[in-house]
Structure 1
Amino acid sequence: MEISESEKKALDIMENPRGITRGDIETLQEEALRDCRLLNDISVLLEEDAAFAYQNIETELQCFHYKHQQKAQRRRMIRWSMAAGIAVALFVGGIFLLSGGPEGTLNNLVDKSHAVAVVMKADPLPQKVTLEVEDEQHRHETYSLEEIEKTPVVQQTATVRTKEMNYFDKKNTFKEKVNAQTHILRIPYGQMFKLVLSDGTEVYLNAGSRLTYPTRFVRKERIVTLEGEAYFKVAKDKERPFIVQAGNVQTRVLGTEFNISSYSASDVHVTLIEGSVQVDASGNSKVILPGQDLCVRKDGGISVKEVDLHSYIYWRDGYFYFDNLPLVEVLQGIGRWYNVGVEFRNIQAMDCKVHFLSDRFQGLEHTLTLLNRMEKATISLEGHTLVVD
């Protein structure tokens, strides 16, 4: 696959970072400027470690394009900025790892405590996709994915595949077979799952998430309940708004794309990709625009800010992408995927801000190697726990 002129220019600049001129930067696509600001930092990193081996950027970029060629219809802004972001990331050993500035440098942090902070614990139970359903005797039963495919009550309402369940019934073949029921789909750590609801709405569920939904929408409002993180592509229906309830936060839409993260009731995020949504929380109501993230804090307060949308798209494609986030949040996301606990013995490292991009299907050992290349803390695996020293 051919690499665009914009990407070739970015690669030429990265291969000769000392020769960067302002004119070179200005010739890049406007959407890629934010990622290219980091080129100077990469130059410094290379000077500090001249022996650092890195993969062939052009080959890696072509592989990434090939994997995502089916996503060619993605909006132009996201497509161009994603390509530039990946090119920069792959430049440093296939992964881009940098501190987030002075506030993220451990040497500048005050030694506040020698205590140990247990951020999260691994789930000792077997990690399987499960579905809770109501049988013909109105009893609630829970089935694993393997059992779901063979369960008559599910076969009457949906089609099931390895990583997808589809309730969308174009021919109404399910409509007369069974009454509308409430199903609860649970996604374990280390897995993602696609769900197509009866109205055609697509839901991509991240690891450690749970969605409660009806097998058919029969009311004036299409209501689902989320715990964890999910990306929604809502089917348009002007007569029936689509509502996602996440703790005390309610997001109302007619047809749009957005991401909701609600792993913690004290830190719920609604991020809009396309369209518009109205978010109601603790008596407050706010409409957000594409590219904005709304955060509902523990005290019920609402804040809205412009964000980099990559973080809310990349996870669907199998990547960790953290942009200038505290190390504690980065490791929480990694811990959920690999089902490992997180323990900080170096408390100062918790607030160290980092940029991190990695293929999460490469495995925990690979991810740990990349994390430790930041040299901001020593991260090791002890049993089923990531320990930060």
Structure 2
Amino acid sequence: MTAPAPAEPTPADRRRWARYLVEERAEGAVYQRLAQRRTGEERDILLSLADAERRHEQHWLDLLGDEPVKLPKAGVRSRLLGWMAGRFGSIFVLALAQSAEARSPYDEERWATPAMRADERVHYEVVRGLAARGRRRLSGSFRAAVFGANDGLVSNLALVLGIGATGVSSGFVLFSGIAGLLAGALSMGAGEFVSVRSQRELLAATEANEDAAASAADLDIDENELALVYRARGMDPDEALERARRIVAAARAGVQRSVTGPIHVHGGDDHEIVGSDWTAALSSFLLFASGAIVPVLPWLFGLAGTTAIVVALILVGVALLSTGAMVGILSGGPPLKRALRQLAIGFGAAAVTYALGLVFGVSAL
């Protein structure tokens, strides 16, 4: 429903309505394209959001009276979201859409209805909820990816700058960088392997089995003792007692149990959650190496001295800014702030080792 306007619309108002129209149309297309890459509940939610955007679009069409002959282009953000939604349909699109929904222009727009303003606030919460689902699915692997690549970038940049500042030959700096890459990547891979393997072995040692239930038919005592098995696994007393009674009754009747399996207090397959030790090790090795190779590239391509150091700083700076901005986008925070924070941390660590290299280089002279 169109809200009553306090005055006749001006040409500026009509231009603004046209801009709102194309933005609503672009946002609806984003949700429509995302829905095509989803199934189940998420697909239904995204289609509902697309329908809501069409209602808003119709509001501006009604005010304009008809489709304008010439419409402005949608904003860069909306066009980028549309392009990404059609090709990736990833958490990045939802995270960017969340940021877009947080900045509704309708709060100060007199021609927008109260319902539209309320819709925009609801849309933000809905998109934030969908993005949160993706963040939870991505959190473990994303943390490992950022940690591994960033560790390789910063540690090897610090190493080559510290070695280079001592005044040694470019060949020695290159050798140190490659050695640092291999040592760090192997250390990361081995550490991740041991960590995941140890966790899997710990879970295996605590995994529930059904030995007690298999002996239920031979029990010559009350089923309460069998209930203690399930209480020890985390069940409440009443549920444990009820399960024990069913098992004992079925066993005494000669019925083979087929519907009850090992009890996991937290649900799901813990081994699947932990993942493969070899996969984790290889991923950590490659992620660290992908970051650690960047600071070495100038020396690898024959640069030396100050030129190599400056190029290394530029390459690593771009990489740090990119990973920081990515963290900002996915976390729903300001990308620029996260990018600058990542850059400051990385360059701060490198500056310390470079200063130490200068000190030791002067001392050696």
- TM above 0.5: no
Bigger RCO (CA 8 Å, 6+ sep) = 2
Higher normalized helix content (fraction of residues): 2
TM-score range, shorter chain: under 0.3
Higher normalized strand content (fraction of residues): 1
TM-score (norm 1): 0.20
